[in-house]
Structure 1
Amino acid sequence: MNTTVVTDEMGRRISGHRDRFQALFKSYFHSLRGSWDAPGLSHFAPEALDRVEELALRGGKRQRVAFVYEAMSLVPGTGRQDAVDTAALSIELLQAHLLIHDDIIDDAPTRRGGPSTYYAYRNTIPDRPQHALGLALLTGDLALTLSLQVIADAALPAWMAQTMTQWQLTAATSTVLGQIFDLERDFLGIPDEDLLHSVCDYKAARSSALAPLQLGLLAAEQDPREHDESLRRYAWAFGVSGQMRDDYLSLFGDEKITGKPATADVRDGRVTYPIRTVLLTASLSERKVLDSVLGRPDASDADVDDVRQIIRDHRVDRTLLTDMRRYAERASQEAATWSSWGEAEAVAFFRGVPVWGMERLL
């Protein structure tokens, strides 16, 4: 597989979905303001919607959006445009909710190249930190309720709306449980790799890959449960590869491109894939350095560079890239089996997109 050609093609396909969806998303927020029942005398209520809209439209790569549209295309000649558009809107509103709360949990100042919603509130009312926290939490909750409301408001058949809501609630619940598990792992010393895989599955893969696949097939009026095991294997492998890429970029990525600081995982003491491996392989002297830096909020850039160098000395960065590619290939091979029931062009997309995800920003 020519990774350059595949990456370029996937980039074009995803960009096309992203651009079309951006217009739909803008139209959604414009329409919402015409019918939204917020307290007329409130300043904070409309501001909360402004902040959801700002983060949502600031956007990202829109991989989830591409997944839902391409999943509908797996079944040729069927599908409802209103259903797939509703699914895409719901997915991205749920993602906005997850990002807002994730940045509160991580005390993250930036997101998607701009201030996180939490820090936007903190900057606006610096003398009211508890109010800033509360407003950020409630703004995230607003995005969650909107992700379900958009389904309820759509003129979909009752069975489809009910099933779509069920899938979204399942994805949201899995992600919340994954967030809890993610915090728990920092109390467990050096976790097993299987534990990191499980955190990734619940926290990211199920909402980022599995749910869009399910909803896209649902929009094609197909029952995703007919392919449940294969969809889950694909989402799991794709999610693990993507998390390994994110962990790599959190140490070695360009902050101007990723939109997130490349020091956060070290200063927060997160036991990511590369941190776990280097803790197991470091010498006693290196372990002293790691223990003195990891989890120290005031660690200097030079301290973080020391951690990076130890990781490089043990070639953990290279091993991580190898593992990332291995899991991406597993996802691609799983998608290849869909050719027995899926449309060829859409199957090719799901075979190629793990390569795109692996090579993106590297």
Structure 2
Amino acid sequence: MTTGNETGVRERLTGHRDRFDAGFARYFDTVARERPSRGVFVPEALELVRDMSLRGGKRLRVALLYEAARLVTPEAVAGLEEAALSMELLHTHGLIHDDIIDDSPVRRGAPSVYYAYRERFPGRPQTALGLAVLAGDLAAFLSLRVLLTAPVSPELRQAMAAVQATAGADTVAGQILDLERDFGPVPDREMLDLVSEYKSARYSVLAPLRLGLLAAGADPAAHDEGLARYATLVGVGGQLRDDYLDLFADSDTVGKPAGSDLREGRRSYAVCAVLAAATGREREVVEAALAGPGCRPETVGQVRDIARRHGVDERMRADLNRLAEEAASVAAGWRPRWREEAVAFFERLPLWAARRAR
């Protein structure tokens, strides 16, 4: 059942996304006019970056940015448009490079940038790889440039660019930790949470909060402990939800075959929980599924059955709800200093997100 609060969160997210997407398309029209006068590779790279950027996505970072500014004021705020563009360009950079690292052929229902180049240069794999890396780099540098040309004071530009550069560096560190997680002993919960914090929470939640407050004239440093706590809870909860859905949801719900983490050998929250709970022959089944490619749907079903026998699904749902309630409690504590309407959005958002795992 959908509550009024859930509907309100969804409508706010949809409204922010729709308004932003129109501006994102216009931005790429402007960038396309600045391309070099010779050559075809640069416009091709830009078109692939554009296509990946506009192909879809919930635009949660955009919503968090705008709602963070609304914590301070309901009025229009200069620099928010540029900050939103910057965040989504950085996200595009991450998607392109993630697909290279994971050797992913598809992203958002169409070829990944890496595989688009592989199709373009079937006999030159190194050229395809190099161009895909450069396309991701192009998105990253555009992300900083758009902030540094925002119509705000030089001091604010510098502060916003510093936030975004820090978020980018943290995300790369998180990606490295993510790769390390799948080597050696099974990672503990502290390691899993650290990966989620760096790979997701810091740039997907904390950076938009800081940028929105900065643009609206507030000093995020004065509230950073609470902002960071909220971001970590939401970021960890989001990754936990994704890992839960990957193992327990049907393909129609997640839009891809179930068990991708098993097939890719990823020690996700769900996979680690099953490994910890499994005994004897059960653990061998899970480890065999992780060991090599070609994990069949029947094997994914076996691992799912093992998880359910040991109550892993129930514990993960309970953990999701706990994280969401803690995040909501942190946001509720913002009421004495910030606007009620925006505080209520941040309070409801994690609870709404947790229910999407049902």
Range class of TM-score, shorter chain: over 0.9
Q: Higher RCO, 1 or 2 (CA under 8 Å, sep at least 6)?
A: 1
Cα offset, 1:258, TM superposition:
3.3
1:51 aligns with 2:48: yes
1:74 aligns with 2:71: yes
1:228 aligns with 2:221: no
Counterpart residue type for residue 161 of structure 1: R
Cα offset, 1:249, TM superposition:
1.7
Distance 1:20 1:181 in 2: 35
Are 1:111 and 1:260, in contact at CA under 8 Å, matched by a contact in 2?
Answer: no
The aligned residue for residue 61 of structure 2 is 64
Q: Secondary structure, in 3 states, of the residue corresponding to 1:262? A: coil
Equivalent of 1:37 in 35, 55, 60: 35
1:350 aligns with 2:346: yes
Q: How does 1:153-302 map to 2 (within 5 A)?
A: 153-302=149-298
CA deviation string 1:176-224 (max 9, x = no partner): 0011111111113111101111110011000000000000001101111
Distance 2:253 2:87 in 1: 24
Gaps of 5+ in 1: none
Equivalent of 2:102 in 81, 106, 109: 106
Are 1:253 and 1:262, in contact at CA under 8 Å, matched by a contact in 2?
Answer: yes
Aligned pair count reads 358
The aligned residue for residue 83 of structure 1 is 79
Distance 1:308 1:43 in 2: 48
Distance 2:100 2:293 in 1: 16
Change beyond 3 A, Cα 1:58–1:119? same
Are 1:73 and 1:346, in contact at CA under 8 Å, matched by a contact in 2?
Answer: yes
Distance 2:200 2:270 in 1: 18
CA deviation string 1:209-247 (max 9, x = no partner): 000000000110111101100000000000111010110
User: Which 4+ residue blocks in structure 1 deviate beyond 6 angstroms?
Assistant: none
Distance 2:129 2:102 in 1: 13
The aligned residue for residue 360 of structure 1 is 356
Counterpart residue type for residue 144 of structure 2: L
Are 2:237 and 2:354, in contact at CA under 8 Å, matched by a contact in 1?
Answer: yes
1:339 aligns with 2:339: no
Are 2:244 and 2:270, in contact at CA under 8 Å, matched by a contact in 1?
Answer: yes
Equivalent of 1:330 in 322, 326, 331: 326
After alignment, is 90-99 or 115-124 more displaced? 115-124
RMSD between superposed Cα atoms in Å:
1.6
Counterpart residue type for residue 311 of structure 2: R
Distance 2:152 2:47 in 1: 27
After alignment, is 258-267 or 95-104 more displaced? 258-267
Cα offset, 1:250, TM superposition:
1.7
Change beyond 3 A, Cα 1:252–1:126? farther
CA deviation string 1:131-150 (max 9, x = no partner): 22111111111100010011
After alignment, is 179-188 or 334-343 more displaced? 179-188
Distance 1:262 1:114 in 2: 18
Distance 2:320 2:208 in 1: 22
TM-score when normalising by structure 1: 0.95
1:24 aligns with 2:23: yes
TM-score when normalising by structure 2: 0.96
Are 2:90 and 2:140, in contact at CA under 8 Å, matched by a contact in 1?
Answer: yes
Cα offset, 1:128, TM superposition:
2.2
Distance 1:77 1:282 in 2: 52
Q: Secondary structure, in 3 states, of the residue corresponding to 1:338? A: coil
Change beyond 3 A, Cα 1:343–1:24? same
Cα offset, 1:346, TM superposition:
0.2
Cα offset, 1:257, TM superposition:
4.8
Change beyond 3 A, Cα 1:341–1:3? farther
The aligned residue for residue 119 of structure 1 is 115
Q: Secondary structure, in 3 states, of the residue corresponding to 1:190? A: coil
Are 1:90 and 1:147, in contact at CA under 8 Å, matched by a contact in 2?
Answer: yes
CA deviation string 1:84-128 (max 9, x = no partner): 111100000000001111111112222222222212222332222
Cα offset, 1:77, TM superposition:
5.4
Distance 1:135 1:255 in 2: 32
